[in-house]
Amino acid sequence: MRRLLPIFLLFLPAWGQVVAEPGWVRLLPPVVRDTAAYLTLENRGRTAVRLLGAETEVAERVSLHRDHREHRGGHTVLGMRPLPYVEIPPGGRVAFRPGGYHLMLEGLKRPLKAGERVEIALLFQGGLKLKVTLPVEMR
Protein backbone atom coordinates (compact mmCIF):
# COMPACT_ATOMS: atom_id res chain seq x y z
CA MET A 1 0.00 0.00 0.00
CA ARG A 2 2.87 2.39 0.67
CA ARG A 3 3.91 2.32 -2.99
CA LEU A 4 0.42 3.14 -4.25
CA LEU A 5 -0.17 6.12 -1.98
CA PRO A 6 2.07 8.65 -3.81
CA ILE A 7 0.53 7.70 -7.19
CA PHE A 8 -2.98 8.04 -5.75
CA LEU A 9 -2.17 11.50 -4.39
CA LEU A 10 -1.14 12.68 -7.86
CA PHE A 11 -4.75 12.33 -8.99
CA LEU A 12 -6.34 14.17 -6.06
CA PRO A 13 -5.96 17.67 -7.56
CA ALA A 14 -8.23 16.65 -10.46
CA TRP A 15 -11.10 15.86 -8.11
CA GLY A 16 -13.33 18.86 -7.85
CA GLN A 17 -11.30 20.77 -10.45
CA VAL A 18 -14.23 20.90 -12.89
CA VAL A 19 -17.63 22.03 -11.64
CA ALA A 20 -20.85 21.89 -13.66
CA GLU A 21 -23.51 24.55 -13.22
CA PRO A 22 -27.16 23.64 -13.79
CA GLY A 23 -28.24 23.11 -17.36
CA TRP A 24 -30.98 21.48 -19.40
CA VAL A 25 -31.80 19.16 -22.29
CA ARG A 26 -33.97 20.51 -25.11
CA LEU A 27 -37.40 18.88 -25.43
CA LEU A 28 -38.26 18.17 -29.06
CA PRO A 29 -41.17 16.35 -30.75
CA PRO A 30 -41.03 12.54 -30.31
CA VAL A 31 -40.21 11.95 -34.00
CA VAL A 32 -36.90 13.85 -33.69
CA ARG A 33 -34.05 11.48 -32.86
CA ASP A 34 -31.40 14.03 -31.84
CA THR A 35 -31.43 16.81 -29.26
CA ALA A 36 -29.01 19.11 -27.46
CA ALA A 37 -27.89 19.51 -23.86
CA TYR A 38 -26.61 22.72 -22.32
CA LEU A 39 -24.72 23.61 -19.13
CA THR A 40 -21.74 25.65 -17.97
CA LEU A 41 -18.43 24.10 -16.93
CA GLU A 42 -16.00 25.88 -14.64
CA ASN A 43 -12.36 24.89 -14.26
CA ARG A 44 -11.25 25.72 -10.72
CA GLY A 45 -7.81 24.24 -11.28
CA ARG A 46 -4.49 25.71 -12.32
CA THR A 47 -4.19 23.78 -15.57
CA ALA A 48 -6.39 23.58 -18.65
CA VAL A 49 -8.88 20.71 -18.84
CA ARG A 50 -10.14 19.08 -22.03
CA LEU A 51 -13.65 17.76 -22.36
CA LEU A 52 -13.38 14.90 -24.85
CA GLY A 53 -16.98 13.75 -24.99
CA ALA A 54 -19.85 12.36 -22.99
CA GLU A 55 -22.17 9.39 -22.70
CA THR A 56 -25.73 8.78 -21.62
CA GLU A 57 -28.09 5.84 -21.52
CA VAL A 58 -30.84 7.72 -23.41
CA ALA A 59 -28.84 8.13 -26.65
CA GLU A 60 -26.60 6.01 -28.83
CA ARG A 61 -23.85 8.62 -28.68
CA VAL A 62 -23.06 12.12 -27.44
CA SER A 63 -20.81 14.45 -29.39
CA LEU A 64 -19.44 17.94 -28.88
CA HIS A 65 -20.62 20.62 -31.32
CA ARG A 66 -20.46 24.34 -31.87
CA ASP A 67 -22.88 26.41 -33.93
CA HIS A 68 -21.34 28.59 -36.61
CA ARG A 69 -22.34 31.21 -39.17
CA GLU A 70 -20.82 31.76 -42.57
CA HIS A 71 -21.49 34.45 -45.12
CA ARG A 72 -21.62 33.08 -48.66
CA GLY A 73 -22.72 35.08 -51.67
CA GLY A 74 -24.56 37.63 -49.59
CA HIS A 75 -26.38 34.99 -47.53
CA THR A 76 -25.84 33.85 -43.97
CA VAL A 77 -25.52 30.08 -43.66
CA LEU A 78 -26.11 28.58 -40.20
CA GLY A 79 -24.82 25.17 -39.16
CA MET A 80 -23.05 23.05 -36.58
CA ARG A 81 -19.55 21.66 -36.53
CA PRO A 82 -18.44 18.64 -34.51
CA LEU A 83 -15.46 19.23 -32.23
CA PRO A 84 -12.79 16.75 -31.09
CA TYR A 85 -12.66 18.45 -27.67
CA VAL A 86 -13.51 21.61 -25.77
CA GLU A 87 -10.72 23.13 -23.69
CA ILE A 88 -11.58 24.87 -20.42
CA PRO A 89 -8.78 27.24 -19.42
CA PRO A 90 -7.47 27.38 -15.84
CA GLY A 91 -9.83 29.49 -13.76
CA GLY A 92 -12.13 29.77 -16.78
CA ARG A 93 -15.66 28.87 -17.76
CA VAL A 94 -17.20 27.51 -20.93
CA ALA A 95 -20.95 27.95 -21.48
CA PHE A 96 -22.77 25.33 -23.53
CA ARG A 97 -25.84 27.24 -24.72
CA PRO A 98 -28.04 27.68 -27.78
CA GLY A 99 -26.08 29.35 -30.56
CA GLY A 100 -22.71 28.15 -29.25
CA TYR A 101 -21.20 25.02 -27.75
CA HIS A 102 -23.59 22.15 -27.04
CA LEU A 103 -23.70 18.42 -26.42
CA MET A 104 -25.55 16.59 -29.20
CA LEU A 105 -27.49 13.58 -27.93
CA GLU A 106 -27.68 11.55 -31.12
CA GLY A 107 -29.87 8.55 -31.81
CA LEU A 108 -32.25 8.90 -28.90
CA LYS A 109 -33.36 5.45 -27.78
CA ARG A 110 -36.80 6.75 -26.83
CA PRO A 111 -38.68 10.06 -26.83
CA LEU A 112 -37.82 12.30 -23.89
CA LYS A 113 -40.55 13.80 -21.71
CA ALA A 114 -40.80 17.28 -20.19
CA GLY A 115 -39.61 17.28 -16.59
CA GLU A 116 -37.69 14.04 -16.91
CA ARG A 117 -34.06 14.10 -15.73
CA VAL A 118 -31.25 12.81 -17.96
CA GLU A 119 -27.93 11.64 -16.51
CA ILE A 120 -24.89 12.44 -18.65
CA ALA A 121 -21.31 11.43 -17.89
CA LEU A 122 -18.83 14.06 -19.11
CA LEU A 123 -15.50 12.52 -20.14
CA PHE A 124 -12.29 14.52 -19.71
CA GLN A 125 -8.73 13.92 -20.80
CA GLY A 126 -6.84 11.96 -18.17
CA GLY A 127 -9.84 9.80 -17.27
CA LEU A 128 -11.77 12.31 -15.18
CA LYS A 129 -15.51 11.63 -15.40
CA LEU A 130 -18.14 14.05 -14.12
CA LYS A 131 -21.78 12.95 -13.89
CA VAL A 132 -24.47 15.58 -14.29
CA THR A 133 -28.25 15.26 -14.22
CA LEU A 134 -30.14 17.69 -16.43
CA PRO A 135 -33.90 18.30 -16.67
CA VAL A 136 -35.66 18.03 -20.03
CA GLU A 137 -37.31 21.37 -20.81
CA MET A 138 -39.06 23.11 -23.69
CA ARG A 139 -37.27 26.43 -24.23
pLDDT at res. 9: 33
pLDDT at res. 40: 98
Q: What is the pLDDT of residues 32-90, one digit of tens each?
A: 999 999 999 999 999 999 999 999 999 999 999 999 887 788 887 778 899 999 999 99
3-class SS string, the chain:
CCCHHHHHHHHHHHCCCEEEEEEEEECCCCCCCCEEEEEEEEECCCCCEEEEEEEECCEEEEEEEEEEEEEECCEEEEEEEEECCEEECCCCEEEECCCCEEEEEEEECCCCCCCCEEEEEEEECCCCEEEEEEEEECC
- In this predicted structure, the answer to whether residue 10 has a pLDDT above a threshold of 60 is no
pTM reported for the whole predicted model: 0.84
Q: What is the mean pLDDT of residues 10-39?
A: 84
- In this predicted structure, the answer to whether residue 12 has a pLDDT above a threshold of 50 is no
Q: What is the pLDDT of residues 107-130, one digit of tens each?
A: 999 999 999 999 999 999 999 899
pLDDT at res. 101: 97
Which span out of 10-24, 71-85, 93-107 was modeled with the highest average pLDDT?
93-107
Domains parsed from the chain with CATH numbers: 25-134 (2.60.40.1890)
